[in-house]
Amino acid sequence: SGNVIASYCGVGDTFLVKKGDTVKAGQKIGSVGTVQCELVDKPHMHLEINKDGKLINPMSILTSKK
């Protein structure tokens, strides 16, 4: 547990949530856009997780429901 903040980069023009919203696994949060310095790559989104004031690997808290 602890204070966890997720930040996304590469979100397009469509936002389905706003700052401070609680989201659930699988919930749509917006569209994927392009980042000017990454135009040679296909559209994609970056995810940054900050837990208790420190950046952590997102995979350390994300789990797969199989």
Written as one letter, the residue type at 28 is K
Confidence (pLDDT) at 39: 67
Angle, CA 30 vertex, CA 33 and CA 8 arms, to 5°: 70
Confidence (pLDDT) at 57: 92
Confirm whether pTM is higher than 0.85: no
d(CA 49, CA 58): 6
pLDDT tens sequence across 11-55: 778 889 888 888 888 898 888 876 666 667 777 778 899 999 999
The H helix count followed by the E strand count for the chain is: 0, 5
